[in-house]
Amino acid sequence: MQDSSTTTPETLVTADGVPLKQKLIQSTRRARLRALLLTLPLVIFIIVSFMIPIGQMLFRSLHNDTASSVVPNFAIAIQDWDEQGLPPEETIKLFVLDLQEARKKREIGKTVGNLATRINYEIPGSRSLFTSSARKLARVTEGPYTEALLDINKKWDDPVLWRSLKRATNDITPYFYLSALDLKYDDEGNIIEADELYQIYVSNFVKTVRLSATITLICLVLAFPVSYLLSTLPLKTSNLLMILVLLPFWTSLLVRTTAWIAILQTEGIINDILVFIGLVGEDGRVQMIYNQTGTIIAMVHILLPFMILPLFSVMKTIPPSYMRAASSMGAKTFTAFRRVYFPLTLPGIAAGTLLVFILAIGYYITPALVGGEDGLLISNLIAYHIQKSLNWSLGAALGTLLLAIVLILYWLYNKIVGIEKLSFG
Amino acid sequence: MKIKHFLATSALTAGLALAASAQASEITVVSWGGAYTKSQVEAYHKPWVEKTGNKIVSEDYNGGIAEIKAQVEAGNVTWDIVDVELSDAIRACDEGLLETIDHSILPAGADGTPATEDFLEGTLHDCAVANIAWSSVYVFDKTKFDVGPTTIADLFDLEKFPGKRGFRKNPKVTLEFALMADGVPAADVYEVLATPEGIDRAFAKLDTIKDQVVWWEAGAQPPQLLADGEVAMTTAWNGRVFNAIAGEDKPFEIVWDGQIWDLDLWVLPKGSENKEAALDFLVFSTETEQLANQASYIPYGPARKSSNALVGKYYQKDIDMAPHMPTADANLKNAVQNDFEFWADNSDQLNERFNAWLAN
């Protein structure tokens, strides 16, 4: 009998005497920590450049403290007003004093102009009422303040204006979400639908989603045969063709869009050819750009590589022998394609459509340039409110709604297709 | 020893650098790009750099006050002086984003008229000093018509003048054109537009040509649309059109009837570190001589009366510039100045209505 088999099993130790198990835990912990440290820059990057801005956007869409920071004392006093007739003299006095103070200090973001802009969202045309009244109020040193205000402008005699002011002094407000959904407050403060002639956002959300879905579908139909061809050709040829697919990818977006204008416009290349071969007359030139057709053509071209690449990489991994096997078992070509090949490409289709759809829903430069009157998508409206009208709260509300729509669609997509099927290659 | 020596030299160089920066500073001047910025570089930047020894970094932007607001609110102002539209100047000033400007520092005109009288009415504001007046006009291709259009009503007359129309995708200016074409005198345009019936009337007029309109967004587009034959006539900014006619020999003609003119003004974003130099540049560039010089590069009307008398010829060709100015008497017969207050009050609402109208 050998010695080792008779002795009781001792815990295994490493050369320096530490139990092996403990040493193992230590080393895996260290490895895990190192891995975590490696991802740390990315995590910080995502938090700083993605999570915080989105959090700010959500916050801004609900929170607007313009009114309460411009007229702080009035903001507190007005809460006791019963919304009938005009606010009491005491409250209006605070309003006038606050305006005078704000005008004197001219503090960034807390000026009369800021308040005027805020109220002008709800009551169009009231902006100049605030700025010009504040200028004239500088001379008013004693009461009665209500009278002084009405002397400056009769419009101050309107309870609707004061109700709107009272609403605006609440820092947390659903107002911007109401605007984003084409709703508004009526004179009594009830929520109603906005005038039909001024409704743009809801229909625009619908249009944007529909257009993105159309573009995704066309991309899929166009990309499928191309990817199949690329995946079956010999490597040398397919590499060459792949460069052709990727070439537009490396060209500036604006250059590509402008090229489409040159090609599609009524005096452009395609129309010239059509007229030359006699298909259409000089008067019958086809309008292919500055409308929805133009948007779809240009965006499909720009987004096509995002569909081809995942499809190609998935198709590349499907062995040709599968189709041969299906045929040998009696399947006709179409049946073999439908039952064998197509299901195998699903992960690529899933990835491609998701990618194209999400990119399409946020596009705005291309539609603006080639879309004509149809080229206004929800992202254009968001950009307009962020850059031009400076109604950041409304822009944020629209952005949040867009984010919510994408998340809901993603959730639906996951239910139907299953996210685990996704393959980007 | 060595360290001491090093310290001494670096102190010396630092001192020199400080002294140098006190003498010469570098300011960032922001404007609209293209032919317009070029005219400012020639007429303002170059002589000022030569005179003061300072440096200028020229940047282009597309208008609006978003960038100024972002810089001022973040306390990191890199734009020292910016060329803005009147409505933006007023709004930014109201919101406390701009330095106020004391008008008494502006020198008298070359003919001795005090600045406050020499500058045209409405060109001096609390935070802004105008340099030029520009205009939205409409322009047509002479080769397309035997008898060209002459009035603002012709722009909307598809029977007499068939063909596509170019309009800016913006209610501002477009609605004014529509009302004037519908017979509203230039002087009453904003009064009519301030009523709900007036707005309906403007949109009803636009309805009559809606399916013939090509909408443009960037200022470079309309001359291009016209040159490509994409439209028969289009609204445009007069400087860009002149550039295409005089510089590129295009067969275009401007119709001044119903023109809507507006101002471009210098403003100083609040909190710039180079405020002194920027202010010096502002004063220098709006002197009689500089404003008159600019007009030989682009037909935008100088904001000073004394400059208008000195306007000469186009810098490349033998063309008198005076008749091409929006402010020339012949061009002002039926003209209206853009009402910044009206648009400050109503642009949110009218933009929504306009976009809803476009989509239906």
C-beta atoms of A267 and B230 within 8 A: yes
Domain span at residue A5 reads: 1-62
Domain CATH code at residue A335: 1.10.3720.10
Chain B CB contacts of A121 under 8 Å are: 348
Chain B CB contacts of A389 under 8 Å are: 347-348, 351
Question: With respect to CATH, is domain B25-133+264-321 assigned 3.40.190.10?
Answer: yes
A-contacting residues in B 143-172 (Cβ below 8 Å): 169
In a domain, A401, yes or no: yes
Model confidence pLDDT, tens digit, residues B126-146:
999 999 999 999 999 999 899
Which pair of tokens denotes residue A134? Answer: 């504040």
pLDDT for A279 equals 87
Whole-model pTM: value is 0.83
Number of other CB atoms surrounding residue A293 within 10 Å: 17
C-beta atoms of A200 and B356 within 8 A: yes
Q: b/e for A211-226, b at 16 or more Cβ within 10 A? A: bbbbbbebbbeebbeb
Measured between CA atoms, how close is A278 to chain B, in angstroms? 20
A53 and A73 belong to one structural domain: no
* Residues composing chain B: 360
Sequence letter at residue B251: P
C-beta atoms of B69 and A390 within 8 A: yes
C-beta atoms of A388 and B66 within 8 A: yes
A318 and A269 belong to one structural domain: yes
In a domain, A118, yes or no: yes
* pLDDT beneath 70: ranges in chain A: 1-10, 419-425
Q: Does B208 touch chain A (CB under 8 A)?
A: no
A362 and A213 belong to one structural domain: yes
> How many A×B Cβ pairs under 8 Å?
98
ipTM rounded to 2 decimals: 0.80
Q: Does B195 touch chain A (CB under 8 A)?
A: no
For the segment(s) B134-262+328-359, the CATH number from 3.40.630.10, 1.20.950.20, 3.40.50.300, 3.40.190.10 is 3.40.190.10
Give CA–CA dist B186/B258, Å, rounded: 7
Q: Does B93 touch chain A (CB under 8 A)?
A: yes
C-beta atoms of A113 and B93 within 8 A: yes
Model confidence pLDDT, tens digit, residues B166-192:
999 899 999 999 999 999 999 999 999
Measured between CA atoms, how close is A262 to chain B, in angstroms? 9
Chain A CB contacts of B351 under 8 Å are: 384, 389
A238 and A289 belong to one structural domain: yes
C-beta atoms of A127 and B345 within 8 A: yes
Which pair of tokens denotes residue A4? Answer: 């080792």
pLDDT for B15 equals 47
C-beta atoms of B359 and A384 within 8 A: no
In a domain, A178, yes or no: no
| Total number of domains constituting chain A | 3
Give CA–CA dist A363/A366, Å, rounded: 7
Residue B11 pLDDT greater than 80, yes or no: no
Last residue of a domain, one of A62, A82, A112: A62
Tokens 């282009």 correspond to: B60
C-beta atoms of A389 and B348 within 8 A: yes
| Sequence ranges of chain B with CATH classification 3.40.190.10 | 25-133+264-321, 134-262+328-359
B229 → chain A, closest CA residue? A267
Question: Which residues on neighbouring strands pair with residue B215, listed in sequence order?
Answer: B167
A91 and A55 belong to one structural domain: no
Residue B327 pLDDT greater than 70, yes or no: yes
Give CA–CA dist B331/A262, Å, rounded: 35
pLDDT for B16 equals 46
CA B164 to centroid of chain Cα atoms: 27
C-beta atoms of B214 and A198 within 8 A: no
In a domain, A195, yes or no: no
Last residue of a domain, one of A36, A62, A88: A62
pLDDT for B42 equals 95
Mean per-residue pLDDT over chain B, rounded: 89
Model confidence pLDDT, tens digit, residues B107-128:
999 888 899 999 988 899 999 9
Measured between CA atoms, how close is B67 to chain A, in angstroms? 8
Split at pLDDT 50, 70, 90, the class of B8 is very low
C-beta atoms of B66 and A387 within 8 A: yes
